[in-house]
Amino acid sequence: MLVTTAKATHAQTRRHNNRLVLQTVYDQSPLSRADIARATDLTATTVSTVVGELLEEGLVQELGAVSTERGKPPTLISLNKDARHILALDLSRKVFQGSILNLRGEILHRQYSPLQNKNGKDALAVVHKLLRDLCQATTTPLLGIGIGAPGIIDPNNSVIRQAANLGWYNLELGELLTQEYGHNVQVVNDTQAILLAENLFGTYKNSSDMVVIRIGNGIGAAIMCNGQLLHGNGSGVGEIGHVVVVDGGERCTCGNDGCLETIASSRAVIQQAKALAALHPGSALNQLTQDGDPITIETVVEAFRLGDPVVEPLVTRLGYHLGNSIAHLVSVVGTPRILLCGGLTELGKPLFDTIRFETRRRCLTARLTEPEIGIVTLTTNLSDLVVMGAAATLLTNELGLFW
């Protein structure tokens, strides 16, 4: 168990009060100094001092006074959401996204750079190009740089332990970028970034327990318990896609056979759909790709919507295996809420019903906890979610918000 060994000094108290006031303004602004004092239980003098410091830093601003029935009208304080901007990158898709965000996590600017199957140093060059372009696109002082990256990340040290698709192993990305750009850099796993975005800006703001599962070419879970994101310092927390669920199954990218990803990832579903299309010439899968287009997740979703009987068992199998893995996950962390994301979620209610059925059927904890199993709430644009979450890590680490 963690033993607190730090001394509770005046400096700590001040930092704590500072955070408390900023968080209060962040959550409830506009509000007067008296409102802040009421909300925080701090004395008027302390609030006045802290607000003075925050005004000086430009993080909050004074709005006009509100008229009251009598007495001097109080001046309202609000967050100056554009006092600092954040550069954030999503490196989890084939086209990297770079964005500029404000302190509310609002995306002010997006640009893209296709990876074109590059890896290693070449992939890193794409990162640099995006960051240089973003630096040129803003004149606002920066809070820092947030990176959402695929694979196994040590977020404490901003090291990418393993991102197979990018050919990055033990890449000290944080230190590298800090040296190059002179800003604070936070690197976080892409699925964990999505969870942070949902947890800080989404419908389930400030939930202390939730899980996000991203189903793309990989399958990974981000897990928050007791208000803490499990990250395991690069130990592979949430790598549920790489557990063998079919003994002697197909070869996985991780080198193993029969992992969940060999059955339930986008890549696996497309492969299964191709095999089915070849066996069933009359399938909607073939009608939808008559122009020689390849079968994509969108094709599968559309064929399923059209009621193609060939696709139906594929969706059932998908739900069965996802439900099974989620049952194991729920039995371990007993979470009340699981949000899925990725193109396959477009299969909609029938897929979710199968997942829910299997999860409940296979797991006592799920019957007790009755976890909500749904879809992410903010947007289905995953790159936007990743940059929002990556930006959020800066808000936490640099401003002490949300912690």
- For a second copy, the binding residues (CB under 8 A) are 1-9, 12-13, 16-17, 19-20, 23, 27, 40-42, 152, 161-162, 199-200, 206, 208-209, 221, 223-230, 232, 235-240, 242-244, 254, 256, 259, 325, 327-329, 331-336, 361-365, 368-369, 396, 402-403
Shortest Cβ distance from residue 74 to a second copy (Å)?
21
Distance CA 401, CA 392 (A): 9
Based on CB atoms, which residue is closest to a second copy, 295 or 333?
333
State how beta strands 337-341 and 210-215 pair.
parallel
DSSP 258-269: SBTHHHHSHHHH
Distance CA 50, CA 12 (A): 14
Shortest Cβ distance from residue 114 to a second copy (Å)?
28
For the purposes of burial, counting CB atoms within 10 Å of the CB of 294, is it exposed (0-12), middle (13-18) or buried (19 or more)?
exposed
Shortest Cβ distance from residue 194 to a second copy (Å)?
14
Based on CB atoms, which residue is closest to a second copy, 98 or 323?
323
Based on CB atoms, which residue is closest to a second copy, 30 or 334?
334
**Torsions phi, psi for 374 (to 5 deg):** -140, -155
Based on CB atoms, which residue is closest to a second copy, 59 or 285?
59
Based on CB atoms, which residue is closest to a second copy, 187 or 211?
211
Order of all β-strands in the sheet with 228-229: 228-229, 219-225, 210-215, 337-341, 372-375
Looking at this protein, which amino acid is placed at residue 28?
Answer: Q
**Two tokens at 11?**
């400096």
Based on CB atoms, which residue is closest to a second copy, 185 or 392?
392
Shortest Cβ distance from residue 44 to a second copy (Å)?
13
Shortest Cβ distance from residue 61 to a second copy (Å)?
22
Instruction: Kindly give the residue spans of alpha helices, DSSP state H, lying in 99-168.
Output: 120-137
Shortest Cβ distance from residue 296 to a second copy (Å)?
27
